[in-house]
Structure 1
Amino acid sequence: MANRSRRSFFDLVGLGIFLPVVAQGAKAEAYPLRPVRLLVGFPPGGPNDTLARVMGRWLSERLGQPFLIENRPGASGNIVTEAVVRAPPDGYTLLLIGPANAITASTAANLNFDFLNDIAPIAGITREALVLVVHPSVPARTVQELIGYAKANPKALNMASTGQASSPHAAGELFKMMSGIDFPIVQYSGGGPALKGLIGGDAQLMFEPLSAAIEPIRAGNLRALAVSTASRSEALPDVPTVSDAIAGYEASA
């Protein structure tokens, strides 16, 4: 990781498909000639599993071979990632993982694989802006005001996160590092509990996916300070980017 830029690291955190690195000189041939396994790092029934199955049907219809979905949840995606790394590098075992999986696999110690070198990305599937939101009690209306408030009141802020190594967690850690401020990050058991904790005032700020943040913002339950992507969101055109205040900042879900 030391030789990778911050931006290249965060380019990994969108939901995407990967495959084992293919040895150089591998012979090109028609593809696929047999069924393809798509291993998913999520349990059945969730939104990412549903997306995998819809995508599998779409690929099957267009490429003429079944794309078989296999769910391998657990260990923050490391189980499914190692299974794909150990598979023959022939393109017939693919990996679908999300932000937390990619971050954990890139940063955890004592793994039996190297996430950045043992698998290769094929395509990003989804990428969503995060919104830096604060509880209305926080007297900041801009990123710069938030930074100033945090420096003047070092114990006033707690950040809600949707879980260890999630996109909001990573975005918050990057924000702390690049802004020079510090605050505790409270790990909730998921997006719903984290949002509830923030709206209830148990936490004061959060990087929340836009799709989940938009209604609380419109209802006045949260205040949007900035979006995490390099450009503004059409859904919140009046909200600036974090990079307007902190050059080079960029993150997504």
Structure 2
Amino acid sequence: MFARFSGATALSLAALLLALGSGSANADAAADYPNRPVRVVVGYQAGGPTDVVARLLAKQLQATLGQPFVVENRPGAGSNIASDQVAGARADGYTLLFAAAPIASNGFVYKNLKWDVRKSFEPISQVMSAPAILAVSPTLPVHTLADLIALARKQPGKLSFASTGNGGTQHLAGEMLRQQAGINMIHVPYKGASSVITDLIAGNVSMAFMTSVSAMPYLKAGQVRPVAVTAAKRLALLPNVPTMAESGMAGLEVDSWSGLFAPTGTPRPIIEKLQQAVIKAVGTAEMRDSLQPQGAVLVGNTSSEFKAYIDKDVEHMARTFKTVKVTLD
């Protein structure tokens, strides 16, 4: 005897069987993942802070998961080239994005982006965060924020501030300083932190809001001069450098962060496998010893926690861009 099913019931059973088959396939894919090299795309120059962290992470992921995690630099357009490439990649876990804070703000700066940070990517895990440090060229005759503002007012349009791209954390911090202090400065965007450092040391740009990870070696060497930090309190590594609030610029607190993403649609078991591998990596002595002396705070959270962090950051950026005017140079 055979049971008879209505058309709707038959369709429901077919959908259930398809879902069960898909779930089984996803689990099998995760069990075998990765079985070949994985690309980790970075939207910044080699040698910059985001690239440095990405390479440290890739080394640990390779050790844990047994396949090469190959970092590929695709700098330009405020990291949008890399984001666009990964958003359009096959969602199989073999093309990942290691992104920094601008991924949450670029949607407010660039028009007609092909991707959306909350729709095009699956957050895997946040790796770190770091405060920004306002540093000036050693050729500039200033030692405090008050000195810097006074000089900018005496020479309107003559001083410049560098960033690693339009709409990023460093650009936003510079615009906030420019508008809150009522000074006229020129914004000079670069493709990465290494170019910023080179020109800041040479005096080709006056100042930059640099992440502590990129700035600390040059600060310790006396190649650039710290003026203030954007954290809520002074950094233990720079106890004599005041915060922006202590320097009379309340509200200018900026953190940079970085984390790992996959294209939307990547099987959940693969996301969870990568998430656990990132958490393990962040806990290693090599990552701690490499990054904490540079002022970094290591995170290593779950995919859902990272997603909540992204949502909060996007909402914060939406409020910020209503009051801070950022233009593409």
TM-score (norm 1): 0.66
- Pick 1 or 2: higher relative contact order, CA cutoff 8 A, min separation 6: 2
Determine the C-alpha separation between the residues in 2 that align with 1:220 and 1:44: 23
Distance 1:41 1:217, change over 3 A: closer
Q: Which SS does the other structure have where 2:130 is aligned? A: coil
Listed one character per residue, the Cα deviations across residues 175-212 of structure 1 (whole Å, up to 9, x for unaligned) are 32343323002234543443333333332222233344
- Give 1:35's aligned amino acid: Y
Instruction: Tell me, yes or no, if the aligned pair for 2:163 and 2:208 is still in contact at 8 Å.
Output: yes
1:73 aligned partner: 74
Comparing 119-128 with 223-232, greater Cα deviation is found at 119-128
1:224 aligned partner: 226
Q: 2:179 aligns with which of 168, 177, 180?
A: 177
2:33 aligned partner: 35
- Give 1:248's aligned amino acid: G
Q: Which SS does the other structure have where 1:195 is aligned? A: helix
Q: Which runs of 4+ in 1 moved over 6 A?
A: 87-93
1:107 aligned partner: 109
- Give 1:227's aligned amino acid: V
Listed one character per residue, the Cα deviations across residues 104-147 of structure 1 (whole Å, up to 9, x for unaligned) are 45532112222244435342213233221223454443323422
- Give 1:147's aligned amino acid: I
Q: Which SS does the other structure have where 1:123 is aligned? A: strand
**Unmatched 5+ residue regions in structure 2?**
1-22, 257-329
1:19 aligned partner: none
Q: Which SS does the other structure have where 1:129 is aligned? A: strand
Instruction: Tell me, yes or no, if the aligned pair for 1:159 and 1:204 is still in contact at 8 Å.
Output: yes
Aligned residues: 224
Determine the C-alpha separation between the residues in 1 that align with 2:221 and 2:73: 38
Comparing 173-182 with 241-250, greater Cα deviation is found at 173-182
Determine the C-alpha separation between the residues in 2 that align with 1:166 and 1:232: 23
2:208 aligned partner: 206
Determine the C-alpha separation between the residues in 1 that align with 2:202 and 2:71: 39
Cα displacement (A) at 1:69: 5.1
1:196 aligned partner: 198
- Give 1:135's aligned amino acid: S
Q: Which SS does the other structure have where 1:124 is aligned? A: strand
Comparing 222-231 with 44-53, greater Cα deviation is found at 44-53
1:6 aligned partner: none
**Unmatched 5+ residue regions in structure 1?**
1-26
Comparing 233-242 with 82-91, greater Cα deviation is found at 82-91
Q: Which has the higher helix share?
A: 2
- Give 1:237's aligned amino acid: P
Determine the C-alpha separation between the residues in 1 that align with 2:116 and 2:68: 26
Q: Which SS does the other structure have where 1:199 is aligned? A: helix
Instruction: Tell me, yes or no, if the aligned pair for 1:81 and 1:95 is still in contact at 8 Å.
Output: yes
Instruction: Tell me, yes or no, if the aligned pair for 1:56 and 1:69 is still in contact at 8 Å.
Output: no
Comparing 109-118 with 88-97, greater Cα deviation is found at 88-97
1:57 aligned partner: 62
Q: 2:243 aligns with which of 230, 241, 244?
A: 241
Cα displacement (A) at 1:225: 1.0
Q: Which has the higher Rg, Structure 1 or Structure 2?
A: 2
Distance 1:38 1:148, change over 3 A: same
Aligned ranges 1:85-104 → 2 under 5 Å: 85=87, 94-104=96-106
Q: 1:128 aligns with which of 108, 119, 130?
A: 130
